């Protein structure tokens, strides 16, 4: 069983709720390891880092609003991870999974997923080019150079929590942009199809408002071409294990 470092969180939590970013960074460093392990068990190795980053961004927002826990940060964080994972699964129409990967509970290196045969480097490069410089930079450092969050924070002059937030947004942005590149290969047959196709990547990644998502869902029921494109994107999205390969598509490391 994993346990947090023997440290009283009360002072760090008080400082975090008062806007002290160094306290937030310290909490992140203390609990990142066990929290990431829980995220791996719940969401699998490919989505764990994004799940943890998403949760921590939300917790940081509460701290900056003067809210958040005053004690037992580990319990608060673990509950937030479970709840956020459940929300995301329900939103995407999936049941809560049961882990069938016992290696997640052991201190051994997990197997590496292979790159899909239909992975398109041109689409990946085009998707990467649409991202802000800061996103491409953090993706290069984490996915290609394989630096730890703390090392990236030191290099960019940020705190680890800010780097985790930036990395989450960058990964999500890259995945969405890659899906958008794929759907551009098929021409729209109407203005409504064009509107849907511009947002289909975000729809598959559950990144749209409820109103926009409902409009797209209604369109997909009537449009065979767009429905087929959506199915293709969902197939790619279900095995998104190659962020590192996509992040490496620039000819050189982005400038600092």
Q: Could you tell me how far CA 101 lies from the centroid of its own chain? A: 21
Which comes out higher in pLDDT, residue 107 or 23?
Answer: 23
Q: If pLDDT is split at 50, 70 and 90, which confidence band does 126 have?
A: confident
Using the predicted structure, report yes or no on whether residue 96 has a pLDDT greater than 60: no
- Give me the pLDDT at residue 114, please: 47
**Phi, psi for 21 (deg, rounded to 5):** -65, -30
Q: What is the pTM of this model?
A: 0.57
pLDDT in tens, 15-43: 888 888 888 888 888 888 888 888 888 88
Domain ranges of the chain: 10-94, 121-247
- Give me the pLDDT at residue 123, please: 82
CATH class belonging to 10-94: mainly alpha
Using the predicted structure, report yes or no on whether residue 61 has a pLDDT greater than 90: no
- Average confidence score pLDDT of the chain: 78
- Under 8 Å between Cβ of 103 and 110: yes
User: Which of 70-74, 119-123, 199-203 is predicted least confidently?
Assistant: 119-123
pLDDT in tens, 218-253: 999 999 888 988 888 888 877 665 566 666 655 445
Q: If pLDDT is split at 50, 70 and 90, which confidence band does 100 have?
A: very low
Q: If pLDDT is split at 50, 70 and 90, which confidence band does 1 have?
A: very low
Measured between alpha carbons, how far is residue 204 from residues 63, 107, 190, 227, 238 in Å?
31, 33, 21, 12, 10
- Give me the pLDDT at residue 132, please: 92
Please, where are the H alpha helices in the chain?
Answer: 10-17, 21-43, 48-64, 73-91, 121-129, 133-139, 149-156, 160-183, 191-204, 210-222, 224-237, 243-247
Which residue matches tokens 């199915």?
231
Which comes out higher in pLDDT, residue 182 or 244?
Answer: 182
């Amino acid at each position: 069983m994993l346990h947090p470092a023997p440290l009283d969180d009360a002072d760090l939590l008080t400082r975090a709720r008062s806007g002290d970013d160094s306290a937030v960074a310290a909490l992140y460093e203390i609990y990142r390891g066990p929290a990431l392990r829980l995220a791996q068990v719940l969401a699998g190795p490919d989505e764990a880092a994004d799940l943890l980053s998403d949760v921590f961004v939300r917790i940081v927002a509460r701290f900056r609003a003067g809210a958040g826990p005053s004690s037992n940060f580990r319990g608060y964080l673990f509950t937030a991870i479970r709840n956020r994972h459940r929300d995301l699964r329900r939103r995407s129409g999936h049941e809560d999974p049961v882990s069938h990967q016992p290696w997640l509970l052991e201190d051994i290196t997990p197997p590496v997923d292979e790159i899909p045969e239909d992975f398109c480097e041109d689409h990946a490069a085009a998707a990467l080019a649409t991202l802000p410089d800061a996103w491409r930079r953090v993706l290069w450092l984490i996915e290609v150079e394989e630096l730890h969050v703390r090392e990236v924070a030191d290099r960019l002059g940020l705190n680890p929590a800010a780097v985790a937030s930036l990395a989450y947004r960058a990964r999500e942005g890259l995945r969405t942009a890659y899906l958008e590149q794929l759907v551009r290969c098929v021409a729209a047959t109407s203005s409504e199809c064009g509107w849907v196709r511009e947002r289909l990547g975000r729809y598959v990644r559950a990144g749209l408002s409820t109103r926009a998502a409902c409009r797209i869902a209604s369109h997909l029921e009537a449009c065979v071409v767009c429905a087929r494109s959506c199915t293709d994107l969902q197939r790619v999205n279900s095995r998104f294990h190659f962020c590192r390969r996509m992040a490496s598509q620039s000819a050189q490391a982005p400038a600092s």
